[in-house]
Structure 1
Amino acid sequence: MSATPTRRMIGVMLLIPVIAALALTAFAWPAARSAPHDLPVGVAGPASATAPIQQGFERQPDAFEVHRYDDEAAAREAIEDRDIYGAVVVTAEGPHLLTASAAGPIVAQLLREAVTAQAPTGTQVPVTDVVATPSGDPRGSVFGASMLPLTLGGVATGVLVTLLALRGVRAVGALSGAAALAGLTATALAHSWLDVLAGDWWAEAGAFGLAALAIGATVAGLAKLIGQAGIGLGAFLMVLLGNPISGVSSAPEFLPEPFGVIGQLLPPGASGSLLRSVAFFDGNAAGTPALTLTVWAVLGLAAVLVGSRRASATPGTPPPPGAPVRTREPAPAA
């Protein structure tokens, strides 16, 4: 056995455990360290009555970020605008908890437990779900599981564009067309069939499509710029890094710092936030994740065009499949 195959065999033996360790760390570590970090919540009512509630939230250092509101209407508006995840309204009859399970069922459950623990023994705290999850997905588990297939589909699109050697306008057209069809297909399944989304159908299709375009264009752009290693880098950014810290299953504020912030700057996290906004909150707070995805998509498509032009200018570059092959005619005999 020659030295080169032996080195390759040893390299594979060492590389697979490293990849497995990275994958396990990326997916299991955020879940094992899940806890609220500056989770925005509200209290509404007279200052003297809400002071004990606010102090109860503040007993856990850096866990909650408490916002004060004059009355229940203001607190409800803040929840619907996605400024806070829930609020405790203090009335003459006692505390009343407002939640939004559509913003994160795990957060809603946490708020129920926190408020119930502060209430006197035997007191039943009424709970109103201001923005509830759809009947087809009462626990939000289907929504949380939807991001990984979307991410894998976007990565697969970028890989196919690279392997088929599509360049320039053809590559951009393939990425854009595939993203648009993916958005329509995903919305038809999630909204029309499974009934796990409750927003405007076309807005949801646009969110799915923009997410697929941002992911696919990034993978294809990296491949055009740095070769096949760009596929691995793109898959790492989207699947091994971006998906576990997207906060889709819980909330970005539940991730260890600063991964909650980093996750929202990557396409999987921004995709989850955008889709949640258009599907349950009438598009409120959709601007930032939409801008994030647009930046990734534009940069990825620009990288595809730049890489294609550079490859075409490089001597000896093989033509793409289907391109006409030009042969040099022999010089006439003297």
Structure 2
Amino acid sequence: MSSNPLVKHPPWRQLLIVSLVVPVVVTLAVMAFTWPAARTVPRDLPVGVVGDSDLGLGRSRPGAFDLHLYADDAAARRAIDDRDVYGAFEAAPGRVTVLTATAASPAVAQLLTTVVQQAAGPSVRVATVDVVPASRSDSRASVFGSMMSPLVLGAEILAVVVAVLIGFRPALRQLLALAVVSAVTAGGVYLLVQGYLGALPGDRLGDWGALALTLFALSATTAGLASLIGPGGVAVGAALMVFVGNPFAAITSAPELLPKAVARLGQLLPPGAGSNLLRSTAYFGGHGAAIHVVVLAAWSVFGILAIVEGHRRAALRHAARHRVELIESPLRDALIRDSHLLES
């Protein structure tokens, strides 16, 4: 049986369909990655203000910043450590101090410094303090930003290998394979990114757990879709995670720099939740991790249930085919004839 879904069409029509569908798919994929980048501006970006002077940012940039007031420098630093705000600033006569967190987002740290300098004016001295810097080996967090896309692709490959190419059966064996390979892969990624490149300086167990949970949530979701709807489920899962979750995750910027609907969607998908969970474990002592763990756990549960249900349906279909084959088999007919002869 041919695997070509267009086999029923003549060659000229196959070419016509491919010539129309493939360019549309590729164009949409390019748009998914480039459109958010072209719309990068602050939208209710959480920023702290120490004291009572916001340098007029609330009036000059309405809707750009969500300003949080803090009594002193120490309170603002705690808020940055807890991931309540991306940074803060304190205005005093003749000078302004900007508190940033490159580990949270290098793009936001640079943006905040630039905006404060413009608001303060050329005669005011602006000092910048990086409260939560990125790793010394990855000072601009470029390694961190670069690792997430191949991680997502790797999880999709894992799902294809376990669920389609090898096709582990029954459901429990497939789930065990996904869990084991996710855990081992997470260990390998951690050894590379931290052991060799030094880009994940946080708690080892926390970083490994964040990587493993992200890989499992991604791969289990795609494997579950494949179990439910067949090989087409791989395409659905890969499109959702790679071409929607990945560009909408704001890995190299921040969710508050993307259009709000896109940002919300990105953080509800495993790539966005996984990258933010890893930031929390690597740089912020786990602060702000809870919501991202919940999102990844929800996708993991969905994947587990989908795999179990898909395998249950497959078993029912197999049993039904077996009954039909038994009913129609010549052996059954011969046994019935023999039983009739014996009775007579």
TM (norm. structure 2) is 0.88
Alignment root-mean-square deviation, CA? 2.2
The residue number in structure 1 matching 2:273 is 270
Q: 1:43 aligned to 2:46? A: no
Read off the aligned partner of 1:113 and give its amino acid letter: T
In structure 2, give the amino acid aligned to 1:192. Answer: G
Q: Mean alpha-carbon deviation: is it higher for 202-211 or for 10-19?
A: 10-19
Is the Cα–Cα contact under 8 Å of residues 265 and 292 in structure 1 kept in the other structure? Answer: yes
- Structure 1 residues 110-129: aligned runs within 5 Å: 110-129=111-130
Aligned to 1:322: none
Q: CA deviation at 1:257?
A: 2.2
> How do 1:272-287 residues align onto structure 2 when only pairs under 5 Å count?
272-287=275-290
Look up the match of 2:131: 130
User: Where does 1:187-266 land on structure 2 (aligned, <5 Å)?
Assistant: 187-266=190-269
Kept in 2: contact 1:41–1:86 (CA 8 A): yes
- Contact 2:94 2:123 survives alignment (8 Å): no
1:20 CA displacement: 1.1
Q: Return the offset for 1:36.
A: 0.8
Q: 3-state SS of the aligned residue for 1:98?
A: strand
2:37 aligned partner: 31
Q: Deviations over 1:121-173 (max 9, x none)?
A: 24321111000011111111111111111100111111112222223111101
Higher helix share: 2
* TM-score (ref. length: structure 1): 0.91
Shift of 1:182: 1.3
CA contact (8 A) 1:58 1:64 kept: no
| SS of 1:315 mapped into structure 2 | helix
2:89 match: 88
Specify the alignment match of 1:66 in structure 2. Answer: 67
Aligned residue type for 1:273: N
User: Where does residue 5 of structure 1 map in the other structure?
Assistant: 11
Q: Using the alignment, how far apart are the partners of 1:205 and 1:318 within structure 2?
A: 44
Separation in structure 2 between the aligned mates of residue 328 and residue 43 of structure 1, nearest angstrom: 85
Is the contact made by 1:191 and 1:201 (CA closer than 8 Å) also made in structure 2? no
Cα distance in 2 between the residues matched to 1:315 and 1:127: 66
Q: Which has the larger radius of gyration?
A: 2
Which residue is equivalent to 1:303? 306
Amino acid at match of 1:217: A
The equivalent of 2:102 in structure 1 is 101
In the alignment, structure 2 segments of 5+ residues that lack a partner are 1-6, 323-328, 339-344
CA 1:31–1:2 in structure 2 vs 1: closer, same or farther (change >3 Å)? Answer: closer
Identity of aligned residues (%): 42
**Amino acid in structure 1 at the alignment position of 2:179:** S
Q: Residues 44 and 89 of structure 1 are in contact (CA less than 8 Å); yes or no, is this contact kept in structure 2?
A: yes
Unaligned runs of 5+ in 1: 320-326
Determine if contact 1:90/1:96 at 8 Å carries over to the other structure.
yes
Q: Does the 8 A contact of 1:311 with 1:317 survive in 2?
A: no
Give, in angstroms, the shift of residue 100 of structure 1. 0.4
Amino acid at match of 1:10: L
After superposition, the Cα gap between the structure-2 partners of 1:238 and 1:9, relative to the gap in structure 1 and judged at 3 Å, is: same
Question: In structure 1, what residue type is equivalent to 2:160?
Answer: V
Distance 1:160 1:317 in 2: 28
Alpha-carbon distance change, 298 to 139 in structure 1, aligned in 2, over 3 angstroms: same
Matching residue of 1:323: none
CA distance in 1 between partners of 2:71 and 2:94 (Å):
17
